[in-house]
Amino acid sequence: MTIRLAITAGEPAGIGPDLCIQIAQQAHDCELVVIADPQLIEQRAAELELNITVRLFDDTQPAQASTAGEICVCPVTLAASVSTGKLNVENSHYVLETLRVAVQGALDMRWAGIVTAPVHKGIINDAGISFSGHTEYFRDYCGVTEVVMMLATSDLRVALVTTHLPLRDVADAITRERLHRVTRILNNDLKTFFGVAEPHILVAGLNPHAGEDGHLGREELDTISPALDELRAEGMKLTGPLPADTLYTPKHLQGADATLAMYHDQGLPVLKFHGFGRAANITLGLPVIRTSVDHGTALDLAGTGKADSGSLLTAIEVALQMAANHV
Ligand SMILES: NC(=O)C1=CN([C@@H]2O[C@H](COP(=O)(O)OP(=O)(O)OC[C@H]3O[C@@H](n4cnc5c(N)ncnc54)[C@H](O)[C@@H]3O)[C@@H](O)[C@H]2O)C=CC1
Ligand SMILES: NCC(=O)COP(=O)(O)O
C-alpha cells in the first residue's frame, strides 16, 4: 500500500518551498502532500527555473506515489505576497495554519505522518504568538505533557532532555520527573518505531566532568543518578551520567542505540558536526509520526537553488521507516 505523508513547506520566505519543489523533481515510492499556498509554489518554482505541475490534493482518492515533475498541494492561503528571503510578520498565522492542518490531518489519519520544513521562530513571535518550535506546538496541540526531540543520522541518535529554553533555565528544568518521562518515551519509541528490542541509552551529565563528584555541580548526584537508578529498576539499560565531552567518542558509542543530552547545544552540535544535511529531527511521544529537517530557514539561500535537500529526504525516509515499523 502506498504511504501518504504530509510535508509543511514552512516559512514562505525561506528554503522550505525550494526544497519541496526540488524533491518533486524526482519520483517517490510514497505520496507526498505539500501543505502550502499553491501560488507560492508556482512563484518559487519560476524563480528556481524548475518545471513543476501543481496538482491539488483530493483525499477522496487513494494515495498514489508521487511522480517526477508533479507536486501535490493541500492548499492554505498566504496572508500577504512573499518576497523571497524576506520575512513578513503578516504570514506568521499562515505558517501556523499549515502546521495545524498537518497535525490535525495526521490525527484524522488523512496521512501516515508529518514532515516539516523549517519555520522561523522569531517572526512568529514578532506576530505576538508565543512559539518556541514545532516540537512544543505539536505537543500542546496533541494535548500530551511531554515529548522528546531526537535528531538522528543513520548511525547516531541524539535525544534531548530539554529543548528550546534559555541556558540559565536548563538546570532547574532537569528534574527527576522530567528525566523519568523523557527516558521512558525514548526507550519506548526506540522499540516501537525503530525496532530496537532492548535499547541501550547513554546519558550525559549536565556539568563539566559530570559534576566531578559534586565539586563542579550537584545535579548528577542529587537528580540525574537517582533518576537513572529508578529507571534501571524498571529494566532500562542506561549508562551514565557520563561526562558529555567524552560520551561522543567511539569507545562509548559502540553498542549504544541512542544518547540522551541534557540540553540543545550539548547534543546537537555533535550531531550536526557528524551529519548536517543527512540527519532528521524526530518528535517522540506524540500520537502521530513527525519528522523534520536538521536545519533552519536559511533565508540567504531561498530562491537561489543552492539549498541542499538531503535532510528533507532523510526526514521523509525516517517517517516512512517509522510508519512501516508501527503497523
Ligand atoms: N525545524 C525548524 O523549523 C528549524 C528552524 N530553525 C529556525 O531557522 C531560523 C534560522 O536559523 P539559523 O540558526 O540561521 O540556522 P539555518 O540552519 O537556517 O542556517 C545556518 C547555516 O546553514 C546553512 N543552511 C541551512 N540549511 C541549509 C541547506 N538545506 N542547504 C545548505 N545550507 C543550509 C545556511 O545557509 C546558514 O549558513 C531560526 O528562526 C531558527 O529558529 C532552525 C532549526 C530548525
Ligand atoms: N534545533 C532544532 C530546532 O530548532 C527545531 O525545532 P522544532 O521546530 O522542530 O521544534
pLDDT of amino acid 103: 98
pLDDT of amino acid 309: 98
pLDDT at residue 297 greater than cutoff 90: yes
Ligand with the closest atom to the CA of 138: 2
Of 295, 228, 321, residue with least CA distance to 3: 321
Q: Tell me the average pLDDT across 286-309.
A: 98
pLDDT at residue 327 greater than cutoff 90: no
| CB atoms inside a 10 Å sphere around CB 67 | 15
Of 177, 139, 176, 182, residue with least CA distance to 160: 182
pLDDT of amino acid 266: 98
pLDDT tens per residue, range 243-256: 999 999 999 999 99
- Closest Cα to atom 4, ligand 2: which residue? 133
- Closest Cα to atom 12, ligand 1: which residue? 296
ipTM of the complex model: 0.98
What are the φ/ψ torsions at residue 4 (nearest 5 degrees)? -105, 130
Q: Is 296 near ligand 1, meaning CB less than 6 Å away? A: yes
Q: Cite the annotated binding site by residue number.
A: 134-135, 164, 209, 264, 272, 281, 290
pLDDT of amino acid 1: 87
Report the C-alpha gap between 79 and 88 in whole angstroms: 10
Report the C-alpha gap between 206 and 220 in whole angstroms: 7
Residue-averaged pLDDT of the chain: 97
pLDDT band at 33 (very low <50, low <70, confident <90, very high): very high
- List, in sequence order, the alpha helices (H) in the chain: 16-23, 38-48, 92-107, 121-126, 134-142, 167-173, 176-194, 219, 225-233, 244-247, 250-253, 264-275, 310-325
Q: Is 293 near ligand 1, meaning CB less than 6 Å away? A: yes
Residue 255, all three cell numbers: 553498542
pLDDT of amino acid 114: 98
Beta bridge mates, 217? 215
Ligand with the closest atom to the CA of 123: 1
Determine the distance separating the centroid of ligand 2 and the alpha carbon of 133, expressed in angstroms.
5
pLDDT tens per residue, range 198-241: 999 999 999 999 999 999 999 999 999 999 999 999 999 999 99
Report the C-alpha gap between 289 and 112 in whole angstroms: 7
Q: Is 122 near ligand 1, meaning CB less than 6 Å away? A: yes
**pTM attached to this predicted model:** 0.96
Of 184, 179, 165, 175, residue with least CA distance to 263: 165
> What 3-state class would DSSP assign to 286?
coil
Determine the distance separating the centroid of ligand 1 and the alpha carbon of 190, expressed in angstroms.
27
Report the C-alpha gap between 161 and 139 in whole angstroms: 15
Q: Cite the annotated binding site for a divalent metal cation by residue number.
A: 164, 209, 264
pLDDT tens per residue, range 78-124: 999 999 999 999 999 999 999 999 999 999 999 999 999 999 999 99
Q: How many residues does the chain have?
A: 327
- Ligand 1 atom closest to 294 (CA): 44
Determine the distance separating the centroid of ligand 2 and the alpha carbon of 310, expressed in angstroms.
17
- Ligand 1 atom closest to 295 (CA): 17
Pocket test for ligand 1, best of 84, 295, 318 (most atoms within 8 A of CB): 295
